Each structure stands twice: as structure tokens, then as C-alpha cells.
Amino acid sequence: MNRNLIVIGLIASIAFFTSCSKPEQKTEIEEDIIQEEPILYTGDNSATSLDWNGTYKGTVPCPRCEGIETTLTLNIDLTYKLSTHYFGLNDALEEDDMGTFTWDKTGSIITLEKVSNGPRHYKVGENRIWQLDINGHIITGNLADHYILTKIQ
């Protein structure tokens, strides 16, 4: 009789422990989908506190030419137009990209989607934006001030 109780208890224990499962792990794709939901910003940051929409212009350094005249228009509906003109390389060489942009979690850096060539990340400030390097970091060094686009009034 005791042996039957032990066997029944053992079977019940196994059934109980195997019925408890781990919480579902989200795949990377599911996490990306969750992160693509609109970010609601609170507090002071570039996305909420600045009049960031408008057109910014400047000439950034170019290793193969005399400079790249860059014009970036940011629209309130999160669309952009990026125009570049390469001086000295081929004065007829102009590129236009249009698409959407997203804000990072801090509300201070934008990423341009669908840029065919060149930088995609910009830090937004009061009446100016900083072109960031390929990894999204501020460009430093002697030419750092040349990577700033100023808002056209």
C-alpha cells in the first residue's frame, strides 16, 4: 500500500512540475516590433521642447572633394528631404533622398531611413543639428564645427 502511495505521489509530482513552464521568451523580431511602437516623450528634450521642424544647411568636409553642401528639411510629420551637392568633384553631382525619420529613446537624435549614401544620424539642437559619425557619435577634432547644419530662418 505504501509503495502505491509513493508511486502515485511521484507521478503527481512529475505531472505538477512538468506542467509549470517558463515564461515565453520573445524573439528578436518580436522585441523589434515592440520597440517600433511610438515613443511618448516626457520632460525636456529636443523632440518635445524645440521647434525642430524646418530646413538646415551647411557645408561638411569631404575627403575627395572641396566640401559637401548639405540641406536637410525635417517635417512635423516625421518625413525629411536630404539634398547634397559635391563641390569640386563633379559640380553636377547632386543627390536627393526623401523618407521618414525616427527619434531615439532620449528624444535628441534622429535617424534618417532610406538614405542612399552618407550619414543617417543627426543630433538635434536649438536652431542647429550636428551630423554624427557612422556609429551615431558626435564628430570630434579640428573639423568638428564643420559638421553643424544651421537652421534657415
* Predicted pLDDT of residue 90: 66
In 3-state terms the chain splits into helix, strand, coil percentages (rounded to 5) of 20, 35, 45
Non-local CB neighbours of 57 within 8 Å, separated by 6+ positions = 69, 70, 71, 72, 149, 150, 152
Query: How many Å apart are CA 119 and CA 53, to the nearest integer?
Result: 19
Regions of the chain where pLDDT drops below 70: 1-43, 89-92
* Predicted pLDDT of residue 7: 42
* Predicted pLDDT of residue 89: 67
* Predicted pLDDT of residue 58: 96
Q: Which domains are assigned to the chain?
A: 46-151 (2.40.128.640)
* Predicted pLDDT of residue 42: 55
